[in-house]
Amino acid sequence: MSKNLNNKLVAAAEIVLRVIWYLSIAGTIFFMGKMLLGPVLEITEYTSGLITPIEFSVNEQGTATFDSDQTVPVQINHAKGYFRIDRPIPTTLKVVFFLINLVVSGLILWVIYVLWKIVQSVKQKNPFIVLNGRRLRIIAFSMIGIELSQGLANLIKMLYLEPRLQFETIIIQSKIHVSFHVIVAGLVILVIAEAFRIGVEMKEEQELTV
């Protein structure tokens, strides 16, 4: 019963990944085509209005009241949010953002494809191969690359826009916004990939000695 259930789950995972793979290709072609040809064909205008994360502090000091007679000062530091500006950006930045998005999209497609191949090897009852260890390394490096690329894109936008932003009480801080959880997860997968490779090599050595 458990074996049949596992087989069904693997088959379902393969179908889902296959669908995601083709949908991702279609989505990437549409999105990149819109970025590249939208302004030319006057379908859309590629602006700096992309949602961009920011970190900021507030000069104004507030207060918080506890009970009826206890009031304490409150200050906002290292707050996080998003901003959007609907204005055309220079062609140079358009090219930079296009290339970064192209890299990110390619890495995402690569991860999906590699996962699909790993699931196929499981379906074929042959998951413990050196190639799957390499595939896990590809996933790990791709995850880290995606996160760093997105962080770089956000930093470039902030460096371009920060000198042009004016607020009376808000201080904008330019920082590279990356998810260290994703990077740590990528490093963990990298360690697992190395352990997987060593395990496969030991298995092959045992088979040769028998």
Q: How confident is the model at residue 111 (pLDDT cuts 50, 70, 90)?
A: very high
Say if residue 198's pLDDT is above 80.
yes
Does 65 reside within a domain? no
The predicted pLDDT at position 48 comes to 47
Residue at 204 is within a domain: yes
Domain that holds residue 43: 2-49+89-209
What is the average pLDDT across 2-27? 83
> Would 117 be classed as within a structural domain?
yes
Whether 73 maps to a domain, the answer reads no
- Residue 204 in this model has a pLDDT that exceeds 80: no
- Confidence at residue 112, expressed as pLDDT on a 0 to 100 scale: 92
Per-residue pLDDT band for 145 (boundaries 50, 70, 90) equals: very high
Whether residue 26 is contained in a domain is answered as yes
Does the pLDDT value for residue 148 go beyond 80? Answer: yes
Is 145 inside a domain boundary? Answer: yes
* Structural domain total, the chain: 1
pTM, two decimal places? 0.76
Residue 56 domain flag? no
Long-range own/partner contacts, residues 154-162 (CB < 8 A, 24 or more apart): 154/52, 154/53, 156/93, 156/96, 156/97, 157/48, 157/50, 157/52, 157/93, 157/97, 158/52, 158/54, 160/48, 160/89, 160/93, 161/48, 161/52, 161/83, 161/85
Cα→Cα distances 73→36, 61, 65, Å: 50, 7, 9
pLDDT, residue 82, reads: 76
Residue 175 lies in a domain: yes
Q: What is the mean pLDDT of the segment spanning 102-125?
A: 90
pLDDT value for 39: 55
Span 36-78, pLDDT tens digits:
665 555 545 544 455 677 777 877 777 888 776 778 888 887 7
pLDDT in tens, 172-189: 776 667 788 888 999 999
Give yes or no for residue 193 having a pLDDT over 60.
yes
Minimum mean pLDDT among 92-96, 143-147, 185-189: which range?
92-96
